[in-house]
Structure formats: C-alpha cells, structure tokens
Amino acid sequence: MSKKLLALTGNDAAAYAMKQINPDVVAAYPITPQTSLMEKFAQFVADGESNTEIVLVESEHSAMSACVGASCAGARVMTATSSQGLALMWEIVYIASSYRLPIVMPLVNRALSGPINIHCDHGDAMGIRDSGWIQLWAENAQEVYDNLLMAIRIAENSGILLPVVVNYDGFIISHAIENMYLYDDAEVKKFVGEYKPKYTLLDPKNPTTFGSFDLPDYYFEHRRQMAAAMKDSFKVIGDVAKEFSKICGREYKNLEGYKLEDAEIAIVALGSTVGTARAVVDELREKGIKAGILKIRTFRPFPEDEIADALKKLKAVAVLDRADSLNAVGGPLFDEVRGALYRKSAIPAVNYVYGLGGRDMGFPEINKVYADLAEIAKTGKVKDLVTYLGVRD
C-alpha cells in the first residue's frame, strides 16, 4: 500500500479519482459547485494524463443521455453534477438505473431552486432517493476519493449493475482544501480493473436492443429485478470495502459511529456536518455528557436494521436533515430513520431541518441539538418533533 499526502479540495479529489479510473467516456455539463471538478478533469485529459473521451454536451439532460448511450455501448462511464443539473437530468437518472447501467456520478450537493441558491443542501440527492441509484455519502475529500474508486467496482458487479452516486457537500467539501491521501496509479488501476459488460451495442455479431417497450405484462418484473439488485448490493458494498481496505488502510462500513457505543444521546447525519459534530461531541464528552454520532455512509440501499441496532441503546436521538420533505412532517432522513426504528425501538426520535441553501451549521446549532436531546432523555418528553434549526423565526 503506497500513498501520497496532498492538500486538495473535494472537487480535486474527485478529479484525481476520475483520472485514475480513466473512464472510457465522460459526458458532462458544468454547474456550480461541480464546475471545478469538471475543469480539473478536463485539464488532465488535455495534458494526456487521462485519455477519456469527454463529450461536452449542451445540457445535463443530454449529459446523462449520452452516458446512457455510452454505457449501452459497453463503455465505463462517469458524469458529475449538482442541484438544477440533477433536476434537469432526473428523467434520465431513472432510465440509467432501470437500464441497469453501471454509471458512476459524483454529486456535489447544492440546494434546489427556487429561489436560486448555489450553496450546500441535500435536496438534490434526496430527490433521487427512489431512483434505484446506489447512494453513498462522503464526509470529507478523502471519502469522496475513496468512495468513487469503490463505486466503480460496486456498480459494475455483474450481480448488481446499478449506477452509483457519491454525494459530497457543495463548497464545504468541494471547495475547501484538506489533507488527504492519493493512492498509487497502478494500484488503483488494478483495483478498478476492466469493465466487462454482458451486453453491448457494439457487437454486430450479436445485435442487441436496449430500452425496449414494456406493456403491463413486463414492466413489473423489470422493476422487481431492480429491487432484488438493490438488496443484493449490501453484500457487494461490503466485499468491495473489504478489498479496498488493503489499499486505503480502512474498511468502510454502511454506518460509522462516533463515540456511540456508550452514548445516551446522539445525532444521525449525512455529510460534512458529521465532521463538525465530532468536535462538538468531544467537547460535550469532556463535560461528562454521553453524546455520540451515527454517520450514514450508505443511504441506498438503506441499512434499516443496522441503523435500528446502532441506535437502540440511546435515550434520545435527533436526525439532522439538510433537506425538507415538505410533507407537513419533517425531513427525508428523519422519515427513513424513524421508519427503521418503528417496531424495533421506543426511543424518542426528533428531527432538525438545518442548513438549507448553505445556512451555516456550526457549534452553537449542534450544541442546541444535544441540549434538547439531554432534556428529552431526562424528561422522556418531546416538546417539538421537528425543529427548523437556524432559520430566523
């Protein structure tokens, strides 16, 4: 295992991953805050450090469409986007997964319009949570890089063949510089291996139709296949992480607990907020407060049982959502975590919708959550099921 320590932004890290993966085709369209990822990768190609065929399409919808076409042609394909770009390609995102194409996409999380906002928010990723894409979440630049490398192997597994999106916070991760390790080119190349598609457009001896037409007598079965693949992907995600640990020195899991084993109160969160919360938890622990964190890395497939198990010893849990479901209940992560707890646990679970449109989530806000949790743990009573944290009331 050999690695090099560099100071990189999250977008740089993603670009390096793409360079080392060296996909056959990348079709992409720029959008803030993904842009510098695309630019860095384009420079690698312009300088011959990668010989990927880049298709500079005229919109994100065409980006994912070209990715579908390329993937049907048996190519290893990647793209990247954010927010409105994802919203525009939404139609084709569903097609990519239902055609069982192993496309890998960094998604630089940004708020959805309107009003237009270019800052960090998880609304974009949540919008495709039912699309059949495997969804991984990165906490920092290292995790962006590591998850992208693993994503190729997960997606292309012949028993899975579902596309994978790797989420990371716009600006907070994408543009902030952090120390991180890059692995040796040859080791990465060996790890990602070659893509061996079962079906391709490009074999004249075996002409194949992709994207056929289903009447009610066929559609349901095609969707049932996807459900099975998503369920089967837990094992593959685990196997790939195990194999990858030989290169990166760490075995990624679906969940990561921080000071959770003996915690009485904890938050559940995605992305960079976990990083901030770690520092808050350290402070609270100094004061003797048994605070912890459950970080979710694998959001799709949703590790329901693991989550319920991880939280079962707590006296109270707060789910942090950087998106709102606007369902008159709360945020999407709350919805799913609460579902995981249903019938398995009676612990009070509350929701904090925070950070929308890049509103900062810092020490004061996270401390407030733990203070509220301590109150719930003490009294057993929940005052507010859902709190909009950080908004001006």
Q: Which is nearer to other proteins, 212 or 327 (CB)?
A: 212
Q: Tell me the closest approach of the beta carbon of residue 238 to other proteins, in angstroms.
A: 22
Do 239 and 273 form a contact (C-beta atoms < 8 A)?
no
Determine if 51 is a binding residue for other proteins (CB under 8 A): yes
Do 65 and 103 form a contact (C-beta atoms < 8 A)?
no
> According to CB under 8 A, which one of 4, 48, 212, 288 is a site residue for other proteins?
212
Query: Beta 349-354 vs 316-321: how paired, if at all?
Result: parallel
* Cis upstream peptide for 301 (omega within 30°): yes
Do 151 and 23 form a contact (C-beta atoms < 8 A)?
no
Determine if 57 is a binding residue for other proteins (CB under 8 A): yes
> According to CB under 8 A, which one of 224, 231, 235, 250 is a site residue for other proteins?
224
Which one of the spans 61-69, 109-117, 236-244, 270-278 is the region binding other proteins (CB under 8 A)?
A: 61-69
* Cis upstream peptide for 33 (omega within 30°): yes
The residue among 304, 305, 382 whose CA lies nearest residue 349 is 382
Q: Could you say which residues in the range 81-110 bind other proteins, by CB under 8 A?
A: 91-92, 95, 98-101
Q: Which phi and psi angles does 255 have, rounded to 5°?
A: -130, 160
Q: Tell me the closest approach of the beta carbon of residue 192 to other proteins, in angstroms.
A: 14
Q: Could you say which residues in the range 286-345 bind other proteins, by CB under 8 A?
A: none
Burial class of residue 184 (count of CB atoms within 10 Å of its CB; 0-12, 13-18, 19+): middle
Determine if 140 is a binding residue for other proteins (CB under 8 A): no
Q: Tell me the closest approach of the beta carbon of residue 24 to other proteins, in angstroms.
A: 4
**What does R_g of the chain's alpha carbons equal in angstroms?**
21
User: What's the length of the chain?
Assistant: 393
Determine if 69 is a binding residue for other proteins (CB under 8 A): yes
Which one of the spans 176-184, 210-218, 238-246, 335-343 is the region binding other proteins (CB under 8 A)?
A: 210-218
> According to CB under 8 A, which one of 7, 46, 186, 202 is a site residue for other proteins?
202
Q: What is the four-CA torsion angle of 298, 263, 320, 297, rounded to 10 degrees? A: -10
The residue among 288, 294, 298 whose CA lies nearest residue 345 is 294
Do 27 and 68 form a contact (C-beta atoms < 8 A)?
no
Q: Which is nearer to other proteins, 18 or 120 (CB)?
A: 18
DSSP 8-state symbol, 99: T
Annotate each residue in 10-39 with x if it binds other proteins (CB under 8 A) or - if it does not, as one string.
--------------xx-x------------
Which one of the spans 73-81, 134-142, 277-285, 384-392 is the region binding other proteins (CB under 8 A)?
A: 73-81
Do 69 and 181 form a contact (C-beta atoms < 8 A)?
no
Q: Which is nearer to other proteins, 105 or 268 (CB)?
A: 105
Helices 219-248, 83-98: crossing angle, 10 deg rounding: 110
Annotate each residue in 158-197 with x if it binds other proteins (CB under 8 A) or - if it does not, as one string.
---x------------------------------------
Q: Tell me the closest approach of the beta carbon of residue 1 to other proteins, in angstroms.
A: 28
Which chain residues interact with other proteins by CB under 8 A? 24-25, 27, 51-53, 55-59, 61-63, 65-75, 77, 91-92, 95, 98-101, 161, 199-204, 206-215, 217-218, 220-222, 224-225, 228-229
